[in-house]
Amino acid sequence: MPTPSKPLAGLKVIELGTLIAGPFASRICAEFGAEVIKVESPDGGDPLRKWRKLYEGTSLWWFVQARNKQSLTLNLKHPEGRDVLKRLLADADILIENFRPGVLEKLGLGWDVLHALNPRLVMVRLSGFGQTGPMKDQPGFGAVGESMGGLRYITGFEDRPPVRTGISIGDSIAALWGVIGALMALRHREVNGGAGQVVDVALYEAIFAMMESMVPEFDVFGFIRERTGNIMPGITPSCIHTTADGRHVQIGANGDAIFKRFMQAIGRDDLANDATLATNDGRDARRDELYGVIDRWANSLPLAEVMQVLNDAEVPASRIYSAEDMLGDPQFLAREMFLQARLPDGKPFKMPGIVPKLSDTPGSAEWVGPALGEHTATVLADLGYDAAAIARLRAAGTV
């Protein structure tokens, strides 16, 4: 039986991105079958190559973030470098870029030029504040987007300054919106007979779009949601608790029937049968009392016993996982969430599996992030450059 093609097979994606947002968006495309050509500066390439933990001089993050991509080095300040890029884009489906607004225009590669070159091209533009508005020219990283978009304000404990999440979540969420927008634009092009268009994603808006009921609650009630630590405000009980052996567990017993089962399981039939606690609004009014009950119960038992009680009562819960916990967990293993790969020297290592799971056309990781310019000659040859022309471009510092 033939192997099914991946869902994005046949699409050509050009990435003009560095670090996180743009490269993560194109990584998703690459995992699901698109041909992704990452354009990097000949002078060191993507700075992500040197971020976090390095193995023999290259970031382990790089090997994941750039998997399934081809690396082409191009000096876009050189006229011939821009000519090469135009030839690449002439038959491309998607361009993903995360420069500051105006950079491509200064290079003579603005949307008007590229749309005239290739009317079918979809251009995904990821930036701090979008392509319009009074802040469009300001630099903006994911941390800035998280701050302006509202996430940082509500993250942390009420008696302490705001804190960040442990990952660059603003960039990654923006990347997801970029991919969603690109697929919408492709559907419009293919199904509705439309042309290519610009997908404009601002990092602060990517976060702002996730902020649930924050805006209407302020607009209607003048209510400003504040930091509440591990408690989910307005949804009770949902919190992290500490067990007798010093471990931590997230318990989400905020469903009406779930709450009743939970209270019965911990020997509190009085609370399970209390009519004032039968719905969320009643429970939230007695939030501190309920969390005191749950804290005392969790503190009295080791994690394994806590989890056994919760699982038997079908209460959604999880211990707080570290990477070490994940690597040996049966659920992660059953879902193939660790892929075995090899570093350039042959050393085996594990990297994250593919999300989402598609039943008929799943994604995969075919190779790890490439060496800088590893595919330059191949890509140029595919564009019609002969060996002499490629050598001349190299000698001129164009590639």
How confident is the model over 340-395, as pLDDT tens digits? 999 999 999 999 999 999 999 999 999 999 999 999 999 999 999 999 999 999 99
DSSP 142: H
**C-alpha angle with apex 52: 49 to 58, nearest 5 degrees?**
35
Rg (alpha carbons) of the chain, rounded to whole number = 25
Please tell me the pTM assigned to this model: 0.94
Q: Which CATH class is domain 238-319?
A: alpha beta
How confident is the model over 101-129, as pLDDT tens digits? 999 999 999 999 999 999 999 999 999 99
The packing angle between helices 21-31 and 169-191, to 10°, is 50
The H or E element containing residue 198 is strand 198-202
Q: The tokens of 29 are what?
A: 């495309």
Partners of 12 in the β-ladder: 35
Q: Where along the chain do the CATH 3.40.50.10540 domains lie?
A: 12-210+336-395
> 3 falls in which pLDDT band (50, 70, 90)?
low
Q: Where are the alpha helices (DSSP H) in the chain?
A: 21-31, 60-65, 79-89, 103-106, 111-117, 142-148, 169-191, 203-208, 214-221, 256-265, 269-272, 280-285, 287-299, 303-312, 323-327, 330-334, 376-382, 387-395
Looking at residues 258-278, what average pLDDT do you find? 98
Handedness of CA 340, 345, 346, 348 (dihedral sign): negative
* pLDDT for residue 8 is more than 70: yes
Looking at residues 77-87, what average pLDDT do you find? 97
Query: Which are the catalytic amino acids?
Result: 171
The H or E element containing residue 72 is strand 69-73
Q: Per CATH, which fold does 12-210+336-395 belong to? A: Rossmann fold (3.40.50)
d(CA 110, CA 112) in angstroms, rounded, equals 6
Q: Where along the chain do the CATH 3.30.1540.10 domains lie?
A: 238-319
* pLDDT for residue 252 is more than 90: yes
Query: Are the C-beta atoms of residues 97 and 17 closer than 8 Å to each other?
Result: yes
How confident is the model over 313-347, as pLDDT tens digits? 999 999 999 999 999 999 999 999 999 999 999 99
Query: Are the C-beta atoms of residues 385 and 398 closer than 8 Å to each other?
Result: no
* pLDDT for residue 266 is more than 80: yes
* pLDDT for residue 4 is more than 90: no
* pLDDT for residue 256 is more than 70: yes
* pLDDT for residue 2 is more than 90: no
Looking at residues 271-289, what average pLDDT do you find? 97
Query: Are the C-beta atoms of residues 124 and 95 closer than 8 Å to each other?
Result: yes
How confident is the model over 13-22, as pLDDT tens digits? 999 989 999 9
